[in-house]
Amino acid sequence: MERVIAHIDRHHERQPRLDELARVAGLSVFHFSREFRRWAGLSPTRYLRTVALSVAKQELDDRGSVLAAAWAAGLSGGGRLHDLFVSFDAVTPGEYKNGGLGVRLRHGYAASPFGRIHAALSERGLAHLVFVDGSDNAALAQLKVRWPRATFDRDDEAIAALAAQIFIERRGEVTLSVAGTNFQVKVWQALLELGSRGPTSYSEIARAIGQPSASRAVGQAVGANPVAWLIPCHRVLRRDGGLGGYRWGVERKRAMLAWEHATSACARV
């Protein structure tokens, strides 16, 4: 699906045909249509129709805002677009400094619309959620870097239930209990707030935390985001409206924004 979304992104002006998209996916037209509908919730043809670039161009003409244009084009859907409520409860500076001493983390792996995830839950909430592009051992080692003195229990069932809540049911409440420096926590809180409204930028986040000249440091903190998707670093765009980079790959970022856009299209019907 990442390849297909990238192809649509490059060739949306000519509205590529269904058989062309199926070839990109390496599937028959029938199987591609079925898989795309299962992934996005609507048909490929209908998804193409929802990519309203003319709206984006008009938005640029009327308001001169690249971020507003990206929003109008559907790059972010429409806020959370569901009933999942996310609250933020960072660990204290002392808890962060001691590396999770006395903290028990239930961690495990599960599927998502954007690839396999590795996540960890403490008694206080979700501490970690990343996409796994390498081995399980490498993913666990990454978690242990942030929580070096914690105790780890494997619990794939709990993480599968979490993934279902976040990506399928998309309702209920999820509390984030993350570990980071004071500056990182400020950035993640601002990103959670701004990103829930639509696309944002590093400079907008920097202004939100009262440090307008700290865009570069903000970018580093965004890149260190320990909870993918829920702290929506995939919604941070360049000032010119381009996708920019993404810790877990630009193609995945494009697919995430497209999935949100598809969800928005379904919600409007």
Catalytic site positions: 233
- Which residue's structure tokens are 């972010």? 76
- Scored b (16 or more CB within 10 A) or e, 106-131 reads bbbbbebbbeebbbbbbeebbbbbbb
- Which residue's structure tokens are 């619309």? 113
Q: Which amino acid is at 148?
A: P
CA atoms within 13 A on the CB side of 45: 7
| Contacts of 226 by beta carbon, 8 Å cutoff, 6+ apart | 127, 128, 129, 130, 146, 178, 179, 180
Query: What is the rounded distance in angstroms from the CA atom of residue 208 to the CA atom of residue 214?
Result: 11
CA atoms within 13 A on the CB side of 152: 21
- Burial, 135: exposed, middle or buried (Cβ in 10 Å; 0-12, 13-18, 19+)? exposed
